[in-house]
Amino acid sequence: MAKAKVIALYKQPEDKEKFDDHYFNVHSPLTAKIPGLREMKVTKIVGSPMGKSEYYLQCEMIYDDMESLQKAMQTDEGKASGKDAFQFAGDIITLMIGEEVDE
């Protein structure tokens, strides 16, 4: 079975220091409590081949499979994480759901 993931992509925040403080001290610990979450990979975007990037941060939240991901999103912790994300970054966040490809 393919691992499933939620990918959160954040555009450049107006106040990076305020964003980082909330993201790393409030949002990440909240998200880490979601049942079934196997791994959380956070990447700060430092640029692009064309220079500056419109994106600031990416987070991949990895689950065993799509069923586990769907169950996790229905938990109180999953709902709390989603609510928090949209409260502090609703105007700059894009969320995607994907499955890893085994070639």
pLDDT of 9-41, one tens digit each?
999 999 999 999 999 999 999 999 999 999 999
Q: Which of 46, 102, 24, 100 is closest to 69 using CA atoms?
A: 100
Q: What is the pTM of this model?
A: 0.92
Domain, as residue range, for 57 = 4-99
Whichever domain contains 34, its CATH number is 3.30.70.100
pLDDT class of 102 with cuts at 50, 70, 90? confident
The angle subtended at Cα 51 by Cα 50 and Cα 57, nearest 5°, is: 105
- Tally of domains in the chain: 1
pLDDT digits (tens, 9 = 90+) for 61-97: 999 999 999 999 999 999 999 999 999 999 999 999 9
